[in-house]
Chains A and B, each alone.
Chain A
Amino acid sequence: MSATVEVTEGPVLSKAEGRRRSINWGTIGWAVMLFLAVFAILLPIYIMFKTAIADRASIVTGGRYPEPLWPFEPNLDQFGVLFGKKDFITSGLFSLWVALLSVAFALLLGTPAAFALARFKFPGMGVLALVIIGIRLFPDVASAIPVAEWFMKPPLVYIPALIQVAMAHALVSAPYVVYICQGVFATIPKDLEEQAEIMGASKLQAFINVVIPVALPGMAAAAIYTFLLSWNEFIFAYYLLFQSTANTLPVYMMRLLTWTPQRNYLAALAVVLSLPVILFTFLVQRYMIAGMTAGAVK
């Protein structure tokens, strides 16, 4: 009998505890703040999506009724219009090529430097590492001008615009590549290379056959970061393409703005511009974080 009493008393106590926790105003306050932050961050994205799929009546109200929270007749018409435009397609492909090339340039430039920083000890190394990443603290607008000027003079002016922009973007992302990859390389035991060398590999073979494959997930993070940076980048592309007919997507969008097209058309373009970012962020966030922290810990 007495045992039963003890058993029933247990849950009663814990329920009381549960109630006390549920009216914790501090927790509610934090939850509200979190909600506000998420709301503020997601609001523009919501507006962008909503506008992109809006029918004409949902955005041109003439002030007679409030703009609906969700379009009256959601549709993908504007995407159809967008993909029907030749200059949009050319700009999109141009952007893609620039981004891919900039990844290649940045990795070629950054990984050997990162490996050197991770593996070899030489005087002034700490300062050098700091300078490489510290460079990125300069405002982009400020560094865009000397870079653009450089590209406007011979010999660099003879390089095709596509490669010019990719080179400029690689310049911007190389410090991040060095930073991330250095952290990745530092986590790879030296034993692996030494083992490869003992087994007959040259230093280069050990680097290519052993170090790079093991570093690949971390390097993928750097590559994606570089890709997205180039895909989003506006200032450098704007200056470098000033006299060119080619556009990257952000530049294309800016040029569209000058003749104020319909808002849902612009929003559709914005969605297309954001999609790779959203896609990559969800697909590879694990690798990104791994790459970032690997860099951060070192």
Chain B
Amino acid sequence: MANVKFEHITKRYGDVTVVSDVNLDIADGEFVCFVGPSGCGKSTCLRMVAGLEEITEGRLYIGERLANYVPPKDRGIAMVFQSYALFPHMTVNANISFGLKIKKVPEAERREKIKWALDLVDLGGLGERYPKELSGGQRQRVALARALVLSPEVLLLDEPLSNLDAKLRLKMRTEMKRIHKMVEATVIYVTHDQVEAMTLSDRIAIINLGQLMQAGPPLEVYARPNNMFVAGFIGSPPINLMQAKLEERDGKLFVVTPDFALSLPEDKAAKARAWGGGPQDFGELSRAVVLGARPQDIYETAHAPAMPWTGNTIRAIVDVMEPLGDAVVATVLAGQQVLQVTLPPETEAQSDRPIDLIVDLSNIHLFDPQTEEAIF
């Protein structure tokens, strides 16, 4: 068991900075997902924890120990590569016992541990097979068993599910969670799939362009994104982001787009006024913002729950409907704004017909268009 601490971690290749000043404290036994687009530096972060990449600047602690210069084998870690990296010339048993053999674990104990690991990943009886005789899902499990058998303090997983087909991926996702509950190791899990990250982790670390954008529990980063990137990356379908302005009308603060206006509830209006240093009057001087509203927070008026506000309706025309079974994702046009809205399956909306929408104002977000930081 060990915590992992990133202190101002930076990685450069020559002049190119791939990871920049990452600070993160991962608690003992925590399941943390590094998520971000391809090439954002999340895998590099993982490889630095593994000791496969040198750390250019900053300190990395595993447990209470400074680990910058500790070789991989002494870090108390185990890793599952995206490619699984199974040794093709060894049977499943030999693959799993490789690390134990090197650590000179006696044979009887080794056999016991192999059995435990194979049972854990539900692969009992396949020990004598070679990797090429296994399906993709089975290989993935072998890789996992091989990592777990070393009883690592920190388990590193680099996109472990990305080579599986969609159905198997869902199954293994559940499996991962179950296994984590059983082994209680600290897990760092790299993925580009935000749904995977949301469902698996205790905490998500969203990384973009080598920088840690936000780290927090899944529901927190979903409900309170720090910035536009996080808001856009987390959530499916993605949040609707629109250029807008803040305007004061009759003592109330409105978010105004060319096609509709939403009146801000008091608490949000206060935050908007406080933005940029102190109470402001937007009467004369309107200020540009970016409005964010999740598809799940925009309702069809006919099916909306009761809301305590007025001035939160949008009239639009339905463009495309995509039924998912439990919901319908509708792409609608509000003037020039293209919005995605999640509607209930019993919706009467039809393509090319008008639709009345109502926005849950308690969940909308405003961002500073310059810094892309969240105002609320």
Indicate whether A and B interact: yes
State whether A197 touches B81 (Cβ < 8 A): no
Residues of B within 8 A of A202 (CB): 73
State whether A199 touches B102 (Cβ < 8 A): yes
Is A198 interfacial (CB-CB < 8 Å)?
yes
* Interchain CA distance A281-B168 in the complex, whole Å: 45
Is A210 interfacial (CB-CB < 8 Å)?
yes
State whether A194 touches B102 (Cβ < 8 A): no
From B71, B73, B83, B88, A199 is in contact (CB under 8 Å) with B73
* Interchain CA distance A214-B150 in the complex, whole Å: 23
Closest A residue by C-beta to B52:
A194
Tally inter-chain residue pairs, CB-CB below 8 A.
56
Most chain B beta carbons < 10 A, residue from A192, A199, A201, A216: A199
State whether A210 touches B102 (Cβ < 8 A): no
Closest A residue by C-beta to B71:
A197
From A194, A196, A201, A214, B88 is in contact (CB under 8 Å) with A214
* Interchain CA distance A209-B83 in the complex, whole Å: 19
From B50, B83, B89, B102, A201 is in contact (CB under 8 Å) with B102
State whether B85 touches A195 (Cβ < 8 A): yes
From B78, B81, B99, B103, A194 is in contact (CB under 8 Å) with B81
Known: A199-B98, A199-B99. A189 touches B72 (CB 8 A): no
Q: For window 198-221 of chain A, which residues contact chain B by CB distance below 8 Å?
A: 198-202, 205, 209-210, 213-214, 216
Closest A residue by C-beta to B51:
A198
Q: For window 167-206 of chain A, which residues contact chain B by CB distance below 8 Å?
A: 189, 191-192, 194-202, 205
Distance in angstroms from B142 CB to nearest chain A CB is: 12
Closest A residue by C-beta to B90:
A213
State whether B87 touches A200 (Cβ < 8 A): no
Distance in angstroms from B93 CB to nearest chain A CB is: 15
Is B77 interfacial (CB-CB < 8 Å)?
yes
Residues of B within 8 A of A213 (CB): 87, 89
State whether A191 touches B85 (Cβ < 8 A): yes
Closest A residue by C-beta to B158:
A191
* Interchain CA distance A201-B99 in the complex, whole Å: 7
Known: A194-B52, A195-B79. A200 touches B85 (CB 8 A): no
Residues of B within 8 A of A210 (CB): 87
From A195, A200, A209, A214, B81 is in contact (CB under 8 Å) with A195
Distance in angstroms from A282 CB to nearest chain B CB is: 25
Residues of B within 8 A of A196 (CB): 87, 98
State whether A198 touches B50 (Cβ < 8 A): yes
Distance in angstroms from A11 CB to nearest chain B CB is: 45
* Interchain CA distance A213-B72 in the complex, whole Å: 23
State whether B85 touches A201 (Cβ < 8 A): no
Closest A residue by C-beta to B89:
A213
State whether B79 touches A198 (Cβ < 8 A): yes
* Interchain CA distance A194-B73 in the complex, whole Å: 10
Distance in angstroms from A137 CB to nearest chain B CB is: 36
Distance in angstroms from A204 CB to nearest chain B CB is: 12
Residues of B within 8 A of A216 (CB): 89
* Interchain CA distance A145-B229 in the complex, whole Å: 71
State whether B85 touches A194 (Cβ < 8 A): yes
State whether A189 touches B85 (Cβ < 8 A): yes
Residues of A within 8 A of B146 (CB): 199
Closest B residue by C-beta to A189:
B83
State whether B78 touches A199 (Cβ < 8 A): yes
State whether A205 touches B87 (Cβ < 8 A): no
| Contact string against A for B residues 94-118, beta-carbon threshold 8 Å, 1 for contact and 0 otherwise | 0000110011000000000000000
* Interchain CA distance A37-B99 in the complex, whole Å: 56
* Interchain CA distance A201-B97 in the complex, whole Å: 12
From A189, A192, A198, B77 is in contact (CB under 8 Å) with A198
Residues of B within 8 A of A201 (CB): 73, 98, 102
| Contact string against A for B residues 66-77, beta-carbon threshold 8 Å, 1 for contact and 0 otherwise | 000001110001
Residues of A within 8 A of B77 (CB): 198
State whether A197 touches B87 (Cβ < 8 A): no
State whether A198 touches B72 (Cβ < 8 A): yes
State whether B99 touches A200 (Cβ < 8 A): yes
Residues of A within 8 A of B89 (CB): 213-214, 216
State whether B78 touches A198 (Cβ < 8 A): yes
Q: For window 26-63 of chain B, which residues contact chain A by CB distance below 8 Å?
A: 50-52
* Interchain CA distance A244-B118 in the complex, whole Å: 63
State whether B103 touches A192 (Cβ < 8 A): no
* Interchain CA distance A195-B71 in the complex, whole Å: 13
* Interchain CA distance A123-B114 in the complex, whole Å: 45
Distance in angstroms from A213 CB to nearest chain B CB is: 4
Closest B residue by C-beta to A209:
B98
Closest B residue by C-beta to A197:
B72
State whether A199 touches B81 (Cβ < 8 A): no
Distance in angstroms from A90 CB to nearest chain B CB is: 39
A sample of 27 inter-chain contacts (CB < 8 A) reads A191-B81, A191-B83, A192-B85, A194-B50, A194-B52, A194-B85, A195-B79, A195-B81, A195-B85, A196-B98, A197-B71, A197-B72, A197-B73, A198-B52, A198-B72, A199-B73, A199-B78, A199-B98, A199-B102, A199-B146, A200-B102, A200-B150, A201-B73, A201-B98, A205-B102, A210-B87, A214-B87
Q: Name A residues whose Cβ lies closer than 8 Å to a Cβ of B.
A: 189, 191-192, 194-202, 205, 209-210, 213-214, 216
Given contacts A197-B72, A201-B98, A201-B102, list 16 more A-B pairs with CB under 8 A.
Answer: A189-B85, A191-B81, A194-B72, A194-B81, A195-B79, A197-B52, A198-B52, A198-B72, A198-B79, A199-B102, A200-B102, A200-B103, A200-B150, A201-B73, A210-B87, A214-B87
Top 10 nearest A-B pairs by Cβ distance? Answer: A199-B99, A191-B85, A195-B85, A200-B102, A200-B73, A213-B89, A191-B81, A198-B72, A197-B72, A191-B83
